[in-house]
Every structure is written in C-alpha cells, then in structure tokens.
Amino acid sequence: MSAKAPLPMWVAVPPSLLALNEAAPLQIRDPYGAVLVEAGEHIASVALLQKIQSIGLCQIEDLGRLALTETVAVSPVRNRVTLAEFPLPSGTLAFVHPQDDEDSQPAQVLGCIQGEELLLRPTPGTILESMRLKLAKASDVEVRIAVGQDVLRFSCSVRMQHQLPYWFMHLGWPADVSLQQDRLCPRLPVHQPVLIDRSNDVRRSALLLNLSEQGALVQYHTKLGKPGDELRLHFVLPTDQGHASFTLDGVIRNRHAGLHAEDEVLHGIEFLHITANEMQSIRRHVQRMLVT
C-alpha cells in the first residue's frame, strides 16, 4: 500500500502580504479549510482584510515559492509601525490604561483625523463617572487596540470632552507605536481540546484551532466572554520526553461569530504572564511541527 502524501502545513499569513484593493499573492483559507481569497483575487473590502488578518492561513510551501520567508529573531514586540497602517473603523475596541492605575478602561473608536487625533467613547455599560475621574488624573495614557490577532500599543495624551448624555476622549496621535503578538511568529494549526476556566463560571471544553508562543485561536459554540475578559486555558502538547501540560492565563482580544454557522464563535486570545520556559516549550513544539 502506497504511503499517504503529507498534509499541507498551514501558517498565519504574514501581514506584509496583505493590502486593501490589491491582489493576494497566494490562496488564503480560514481554520476550517474554506477559501477566503484565491491567489490573484483582490482583497476588496476592509471586512475581508480584517477577517484574513484575524484567521487567515496559507500553505508554508506557497510562502517558500514566493521567496518571502526570512530568518528573523522572533520578538513579542515589533516596533517601527505607524497607526496609519491599520484601518480602525468605528466601533473598534480599545483599552485605555491611565497612568498609576491598575485597570484598563474599555472604549470604542468613533473616528480619527490622520496624524492628529483619535476620538473614543466609553463602551456601553462602563461606569462613566469612575472612568472619567481616573482619566482626569492622567496626562498620558497607555492604549491597546486589537488588529486581527495582533495588538497595537502606544502612549499618548488624553483630553476629555463632555457632551451629555455621553462624553468623549480625544487621544493625541502617537509618534511611536508597537505591534505586540507579532503575526510573523508562526501559528500552528492544532485542532485539539482545551479546557477554559472563567471567574465565577463552570469549566468549559472548547477547541484549540491554532497556537503560537504569544496566543491562540479558540472555537466554542457560544461566546466565552467579551474582548478584554480574562480566561485560563488548560491544554497538553507532545514533547520529546512525552507530554507537557500548560495552564496559561489569557485575554480575549477579538471575537468572530457566524463564519460558517451561528453556533461557531472564534476567540483570538493573547497569553498573559507567560513564563520564559512556557514560551520556549511552545516555540519548540511549533518549530518542530513546521519542519516535520
């Protein structure tokens, strides 16, 4: 009996290949195998571009044929990006962290004036007076905005505008922006069970779709929480010596529902407080599987 051909290896699409209204250089699929865009097909909408940034996978062999793969030092933070590179449509979630405060405050992008400022408002359900008092004490704030499976981080000034029944935050345009959870870090499709713990909730069994040393994509039949909520993930990976168990805290950075059915919800999760040993173990597993 002839040996089966090896299955193609799928990895996250490098962001440098993606541009609105330009042709995709290779075929891109979602984690279920459905084609998002064919090679040569134009990425015609912001919604499609954001979906590809969030869950798009391509064959590693196709990347090799494009001669775009490079040996680079993988870093959790890649500097030298600008805010203008990323579309931030109205409703985009942001986390605003005032100086000298332990908690981040959720807000939504209303719009931006390129090179000048971002306009945000608190998310529905936020305790407005508490948030206003915290921001009133801060001259600068740390801001985190999820773009696909990445997170933009920058510091900027904040100015509040009261306009009852709402009030708004004017953020100064940042000169220095970092991209955290770099998508150039390979993401490995794993398709295995993962146990999810949430505060004051029962333990749930979900599906781990892909994994990197910085985060994961998790599928569940309903929402595990809203962006900004913290979870605890329990899963097992094979090692040279057998198996290694992982218990990692994470935060939901983005969420996508209804890709193929209403009972499919994908959660982009960024790991929190991951140790150097845990990161190295996941990195070894990903690299070993990519070259197997």
Per-residue model confidence as pLDDT tens for the chain (292 residues): 444 444 456 777 776 677 788 888 889 988 778 899 999 999 888 778 878 877 788 876 777 666 443 333 333 444 567 888 777 888 777 888 887 665 667 788 888 888 888 888 877 655 666 777 777 777 788 888 876 556 788 888 888 776 555 677 888 888 888 776 544 455 677 888 899 998 888 888 898 888 887 788 888 888 888 878 889 999 988 777 777 889 999 888 777 654 444 556 888 888 888 888 888 888 777 767 755 5
For residue 11, the SS3 value is: strand
- pLDDT for residue 292: 52
Q: Are residues 45 and 120 both part of a single domain?
A: no
Q: Are residues 50 and 90 both part of a single domain?
A: no
In the numeric block, the tokens 């959870």 are attached to 181
Q: Are residues 54 and 125 both part of a single domain?
A: no
Q: Are residues 227 and 155 both part of a single domain?
A: no
Q: Are residues 248 and 211 both part of a single domain?
A: yes
The amino acid occupying position 20 is L
Rounded to whole angstroms, the Cα distance separating 175 from 68 reads 29
Of 180, 203, 228, the last residue of a domain is: 180
Note whether 28 and 15 are within 8 A (CB).
Answer: no
Strands 93-98 and 140-147, by their bridges, are: antiparallel
> Which residues make Cβ contacts (< 8 Å) with residue 162, sequence separation at least 6?
none
Q: Which domain holds residue 92?
A: 77-180
- pLDDT for residue 123: 73
Q: What is the CATH number of the domain that holds 216?
A: 2.40.10.220
Closest listed residue to residue 78, CA positions, set 213, 174, 177, 215: 177
Q: Are residues 172 and 209 both part of a single domain?
A: no
- pLDDT for residue 166: 64
The region that residue 67 occupies, defined by phi over 0 for left and psi between -120 and 50 for alpha, beta otherwise, is left
How many structural domains are present in the chain? Answer: 3
Q: Radius of gyration (Cα) for the chain, nearest Å? A: 20
Of 180, 206, 228, the last residue of a domain is: 180
Q: Are residues 201 and 165 both part of a single domain?
A: no
Tokens matching residue 33: 């195998």
Q: What is the CATH number of the domain that holds 151?
A: 2.30.110.10
- pLDDT for residue 196: 93
Q: Are residues 248 and 230 both part of a single domain?
A: yes
- pLDDT for residue 149: 53
What's the start-to-end Cα distance of the chain, in Å? 22
